[in-house]
Chain A
Amino acid sequence: MIKIHAIATALVFALSGVAFAQEHVATLRGGTPLAEQGDVPQIAKRVNSDLRQVRNYPEQPPLIPHKIDGYQIDINVNKCLSCHSRAAIGDSQAPMVSITHFMNRDNQFLASVTPRRYFCTQCHVPQSDAKDLVENTFVDVDQVLEYVAGTKAGDN
């Protein structure tokens, strides 16, 4: 009898848990009831400033500070390389593809971008002015070091 009670209580908790989650978990559609059409958010604008952006950590693939609408990157052609390839930067004055992208997986440098680094947008992405869906609490390494130095100074 006690066992049945326990199971029933657990079940009630579990179900209310689901209900709680449904009410409070933020989804992309917001708080609008399912049967209604919510407000459609504005489509965010692409950042097209052409100004290089600071990397959050040294290994971060640089962000694309311009529009890339309709850029073809496939077996036939890579539109990005028409400005960013080694030979093209004289005309375009764009940053050259990093030399690491010429390196195959045996660390041999090839004549041009290796197939494994060919699809630019796998790592490099343009940015938009959209509002963050969730708050970002990222702290970069300099701030961490400053913090550590601060606490150490406090210890001494």
Chain B
Amino acid sequence: MLGFAKRIWSAIRRPSVHYSLGFLTMGGFVMGIIFWGGFNTALEVTNTEAFCTSCHEMSDNVYEELKPTIHYSNRSGVRATCPDCHVPHEWTSKVARKMQASKEVWGALFGTINTREKFLDHRFRLAQNEWTRLEANNSLECRNCHSEESMDITRQSPRASEAHERFLFTGEKTCISCHKGIAHQLPDMGQASLMGGHASEQVLTEYLATE
């Protein structure tokens, strides 16, 4: 093994005997285009809704739930596809997300959520992953389309404009803090939804432990 590596290394170190410098540079250039183009094309293919919904886990559960929501059907016909919200648009973060997605490939291969029941069991955790991600990047994927600057709150309902003025423009909350479950159904939120997110779970468990 070590000998093989040494032979390769010495071959690389020596100047080329048979090929001209022009051939090698041009060849390297062309191969570079082919490899880079191929990589990027493959990356973009995995970044389409057709690719996402080619697995039944996605097409039967979350995609079906998306269809009646405003992000799929609405008056103007502009719609969000899966990667618009779930994959960062900026290159570095996109590749980072794609690397994380290898876990999803693992899940698809071993059928982690290959039935509706399994999916529902995992749903809270999966949703929480997305909420955490969007909380952390200040709802970047929402803001790729919905910009604060272009949001004319005089055209919103009084309820919406007041909420946006109080929480969004002050930076107190981010889109996902209030707009959970707008594109897919929510998992069992338990008491959290009844309490408006005020009760700390730790405080509660500590209190119950004293009984």
Contact = CB atoms under 8 A, between A and B. Distances in A.
Interface of A: 48-50, 66-67, 69-70, 72, 75-79, 81-82, 85-93, 112-113
Interface size of B as a range: 20 to 34
B159 A66 contact: yes
A113 B194 contact: yes
Given A70-B69, A76-B185, A77-B181, A50 B157 contact: yes
A78 to B, nearest CB: 6
Contacts, number: 64
B199 interface: yes
Given A91-B196, A112-B194, A72 B185 contact: yes
Contacts of B159: 50, 66
A149 B153 CA distance: 49
Interface in B182-204: 182, 185-189, 191, 193-199
Interface of B: 68-70, 157-159, 162-163, 167, 178, 181-182, 185-189, 191, 193-199
A66 B162 CA distance: 14
Contacts of B186: 72, 76-77
Contacts of A70: 68-70, 182
B191 A112 contact: yes
Contacts of B188: 75-77
Contact of B196 (A48, A67, A88): A88
Interface centre among B69, B158, B182, B193 (most CB of A within 10 A): B193
Pairs A-B, 3 closest by C-beta atoms: A88-B196, A87-B196, A77-B186
Given A76-B188, A79-B181, A66 B199 contact: no
A45 to B, nearest CB: 12
A89 B163 CA distance: 12
Nearest to B183: A70
Contacts of B182: 70
